[in-house]
Chain A
Amino acid sequence: MAITNATIALTSDVTDSALAVSNTTELNTAGTTTGVNTMTSVTKVLSSTAQADLITTGSVSTTHAYVYINNPSTDDSKFFKITIGAHNGADVEEIGRLYAGDFMWFPWDVDDDITCIPSSADDMTIEYMVFS
């Protein structure tokens, strides 16, 4: 199986004693030390403020995946609301807003679609990768 590593480094001088955190994890299938072996990488351009189905549960065949989403915009006013739950469903939960230059990385249980709502009807690019 493939070996894929994810490393995060956080540095902050918000507090008087600076924070520096660095951790690396190997991306494995659920509860094992066997590496994930599937990767999807997509770039989309959205031109509407309607909720869009970004990553569907049907696109992943496992119950544990790792998701990377990136807003490559350089315009501070352009953000995506990233939500999870049935597309256009009543139980959709907003995770957070990806402002220009922001990314997110999280494990996904593949129970509900990951959706997004662009802040503008101008062309907005969003990128994502799924490892499973």
Chain B
Amino acid sequence: MATTATLTIASTDIAGDPVTVSKQATLTKAGSSNDLDQSTGLNRVHLRSVTQKTLLAANAEGNDLAAKVYIINKSDDASLYITVAINAQTTGKLYGGDFMFIPWSQTDTDASIKVAATNWTSSTGDIPVEYALFHEDTDFLTNA
């Protein structure tokens, strides 16, 4: 079993010549070539909270293990954003349509991934957010 992630960045006019970057990664366990074999699958929530909500709770046993997180703000409104934080550290804002794909260390149980619909109001409508986690875990048997 395998999970691959491919990112392509392309622009014809951000520089004097066209720019294209394409990178594919096969997601593997920490420090090995064995494939990651656990996944939450794709999830969808509708955010309507300006205060932080835990999207993915850190498992301290995940420290030193590999985990990859995909999050996308599915709003069609470019001005509506969600703020993404790990523990108390904000990493950035996902505006409507934006996505992120990061490794996640889960250094301890405080290292949860939290999101907030910071500029949400009752008139903006909910912000749909989709996410997936691919990981390894010592609590569950694996096949590798």
Contacts and interface: CB of A to CB of B under 8 A. Distances in A.
Interface of A: 2-15, 19, 21, 23, 25-26, 28, 30-33, 35-39, 64-65, 68, 70, 76-77, 79, 81-82, 84-85, 91, 93-99, 101-109, 111-112, 129, 131
Contact of B14 (A28, A36, A96, A112): A36
A81 B105 contact: yes
B78 A109 contact: no
A2 B14 CA distance: 5
23 contacts: A4-B14, A5-B11, A7-B8, A10-B3, A10-B6, A13-B1, A14-B36, A19-B41, A21-B42, A23-B97, A35-B14, A37-B14, A68-B7, A76-B33, A77-B31, A81-B105, A95-B86, A95-B104, A97-B105, A98-B103, A99-B30, A101-B25, A109-B90
Interface in B5-44: 5-15, 19, 21, 23, 25-28, 30-33, 36-39, 41-42
Contacts of B52: none
Contact of B7 (A7, A36, A39, A95): A7
A64 B132 CA distance: 24
Contacts of B70: 8, 10, 21
Q: Is the interface of B mostly helix, strand, loop or mixed?
A: strand
Categorize the interface residue count of chain B: 35 or more
Nearest to A36: B14
B14 to A, nearest CB: 4
Contacts of B31: 76-77, 79, 99
Contacts of B27: 102
Contact of B101 (A19, A32, A82, A106): A106
A102 B68 CA distance: 10
Contacts, number: 196
Contact of A39 (B19, B32, B72, B97): B19
Given A68-B21, A94-B111, A105-B100, A6 B89 contact: no
B125 interface: no
Given A10-B3, A28-B78, A32-B78, A5 B10 contact: yes
Interface of B: 1-15, 19, 21, 23, 25-28, 30-33, 36-39, 41-42, 66-68, 70, 72, 78-79, 81, 83-84, 86-95, 97-105, 107, 111, 132, 134
